[in-house]
C-alpha cells in the first residue's frame, strides 16, 4: 500500500463523511491516529481506548503518530506527556502547511504532526477532545 493510495482513500472517506453529515446521518465522534510504517505507508494506530469519548485520555505507551483525524468533536489536542499535562501540547499542521500550525485540531483528516517530514512519526502520550 503506498502513500498516494492511502491519501486518496482518506479523501474519499472524508467526502463520504461530509455527505453523511449533511444528510443528517448519525456520526460517532472519534479521534484517529495514523503512523508511517517501515514501507512508508500509513497504518492506523489500533487499541487506543476511549478514542470516541471526550476528555483527557492516555495512550497505551508512547504511540508514534504521523497524522490525526478528528471526527465530530469540536476540537482535540495531542500531548507529549501523559495526563494532558499543560505546556506539552504538540502542534499539528493542516495539510502540511507550515503557516497553519494549530494546537486545537478541528474536524478533519489532514492534521500532520510535522510539516517537513524529517521525523515521520512523533511520540504522542495523551490526547484531549471536547464535544
- The pLDDT score that the predictor gives to residue 120 is 86
Q: Which strands, in side-by-side order, build the sheet including 75-79?
A: 55-65, 122-130, 75-79
In the beta sheet, which residues pair with residue 67? 34, 112
- The pLDDT score that the predictor gives to residue 33 is 96
The pLDDT > 70 percentage for the chain reads 79
What lies within 8 Å, CB to CB, of 1 at 6+ separation is 39, 41, 42
- The pLDDT score that the predictor gives to residue 60 is 92
The 10s digit of each residue's pLDDT in 51-101 is 999 999 999 989 999 999 999 999 999 999 999 998 999 999 998 787 888
Domain annotation for the chain: domains and CATH numbers? 28-130 (2.60.20)
7 band by pLDDT with thresholds 50, 70 and 90: low
Given a cut of 50, is residue 3 above it in pLDDT?
no
- The pLDDT score that the predictor gives to residue 40 is 87
Given a cut of 60, is residue 123 above it in pLDDT?
yes
The pLDDT > 90 percentage for the chain reads 59
Amino acid at each position: 500500500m503506498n502513500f498516494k493510495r492511502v491519501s486518496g482513500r482518506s479523501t474519499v472517506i472524508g467526502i463520504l463523511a461530509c455527505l453523511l453529515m449533511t444528510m443528517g446521518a448519525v456520526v460517532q465522534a472519534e479521534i484517529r491516529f495514523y503512523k508511517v510504517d517501515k514501507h512508508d505507508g500509513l497504518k492506523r494506530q489500533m487499541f487506543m481506548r476511549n478514542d470516541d469519548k471526550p476528555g483527557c485520555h492516555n495512550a497505551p505507551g508512547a504511540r508514534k503518530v504521523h497524522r490525526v483525524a478528528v471526527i465530530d468533536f469540536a476540537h482535540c489536542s495531542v500531548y507529549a506527556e501523559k495526563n494532558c499535562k499543560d505546556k506539552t501540547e504538540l502542534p499539528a499542521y493542516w495539510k502540511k502547511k507550515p503557516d497553519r500550525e494549530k494546537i486545537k485540531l478541528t474536524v478533519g483528516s489532514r492534521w500532520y504532526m510535522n510539516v517537513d517530514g524529517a521525523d515521520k512519526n512523533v511520540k504522542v502520550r495523551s490526547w484531549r477532545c471536547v464535544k
